[in-house]
Amino acid sequence: MELGTAKDTTVWKQYLVPESKQHPARFNAPMLIGILELWTKPGDLILDPMMGVGTILIALTMGRRVIGIELMKQWYDIAQRNLAFICGKCGCSPDDALLLQGDAALLLPIPVDVVITSPPYGYSIHDSSPEAMDFHSMEKLNFGYGHHPAQIGSYKYAQQRLLMRDIYKGCHSSLSAGGRMILVTKDVTEARQRVYVGADTMTDCVNIGFSVEERAIRRCARTGLQELQKAKRAKEGDIYEPIQTEDIVVYRR
């Protein structure tokens, strides 16, 4: 199944304040709307344990309720502004949303009907060994999620995967039997090799106790960062083709 190819160049502006574009990896708004239409229903309480600037709040305009968790204060503050913006523009009630700042691994479980999230995978695009990086060396290399020891996006893929398992366990405990978790992941390039994030995530989630209900693919436009990488590697005589698909996997508890 393929889920939409719409670019997020203007749609997000209908729901989010301009400073939202500061986040390096916003949820694609057209894709999120498609996910909400396909796999949630009005009245559902939806959790995004890694909400960033709060794109998940679009769910409020569709009659859903939202709980969002964000570790980094700068993104949490923008999410709060987005909540006010959406409620003011669309007539949603702020009482239908609860935004929390903190580490999702410590805050979960929270009883909800559906989990929708996109875990960080941006840092892994840097050429590197798979070992977890030293937190004190992040200043030069951090992808942009924010500097914090608990920031999963600041670690190499092998460590990201270990840390995300704790989040998925918390999500599993947050759902009742039959509840859905929808994850959006993207394979990445690390040490000039493709890392199969989608397949690894499915393995981890099934081992935790989820079953895979459905899998969709979204074809996404090449980013400016990918263009820069391709140009840099071309100068080095290296052929580099950016990964331009995302995996959208629906799990059942």
Spatial CA neighbour of 20 closest among 51, 62, 55, 44: 55
Cα separation, 124 vs 129, whole angstroms: 10
- Nearest to 82, CA basis, from 71, 72, 94: 94
Structure tokens at 204: 């981890």
Work out the average pLDDT over 28-53: 96
CA 119 to chain CA centroid, nearest Å: 4
State what percent of residues in the chain have pLDDT above 90.
59
Q: Give the side-chain half-sphere CA count within 13 A for 244.
A: 14
Taking 80 as the threshold, does the pLDDT of residue 233 lie above it? no
Q: At 162, give phi and psi (nearest 5°).
A: -60, -45
What's the confidence (pLDDT) of residue 72? 92
- The model's pTM is 0.84
> Where along the chain do its domains lie?
11-252
| Residue 182 to residue 39: CA distance in whole angstroms | 8
When comparing pLDDT for 64 and 239, which is higher? Answer: 64
How many Å apart are CA 100 and CA 107, to the nearest integer? 9
Q: Per-residue pLDDT tens for 28-37?
A: 899 999 999 9
Burial of 193 (0-12, 13-18, 19+ CB in 10 A): exposed
Residue 128 has pLDDT above 50, yes or no: no
What's the pLDDT score for residue 208? 98
Condensed to tens digits (0 to 9), the pLDDT of residues 160-183 reads: 899 999 999 999 999 999 999 999
Query: How high is the pLDDT of residue 144?
Result: 57
Amino acid at 40: T
Cα–Cα distance between 215 and 166 in angstroms, integer?
22
Q: Which two tokens stand for residue 177?
A: 């039997």
Confidence of residue 125 (pLDDT cuts 50, 70, 90): very low
Q: Is the pLDDT of residue 120 over 90?
A: no
pLDDT digits (tens, 9 = 90+) for 211-230: 999 999 888 776 666 667 66
The mean of the pLDDT values for the chain is 85
| Rounded distance between C-alpha atoms, residue 36 and residue 201, angstroms | 21
Instruction: Read off the pLDDT band of 24 (50, 70, 90).
Output: confident
The two beta strands, 175-185 and 245-252, are antiparallel
Is the pLDDT at 156 greater than 90? The verdict is no
Interacting residues of 103 by C-beta distance below 8 A, sequence separation 6+: 71, 150
Average of pLDDT values for 15-44?
Answer: 92
Under CATH, to which class is 11-252 assigned? alpha beta
| Angle between helix 197-208 and helix 157-174 axes, rounded to 10 deg | 40
If one compares 75 and 238, the residue with the highest pLDDT of the two is: 75
With cut-offs at 50, 70 and 90, classify the pLDDT of residue 154: confident
- The burial class, CB within 10 Å (0-12 / 13-18 / 19+), for 248 is buried
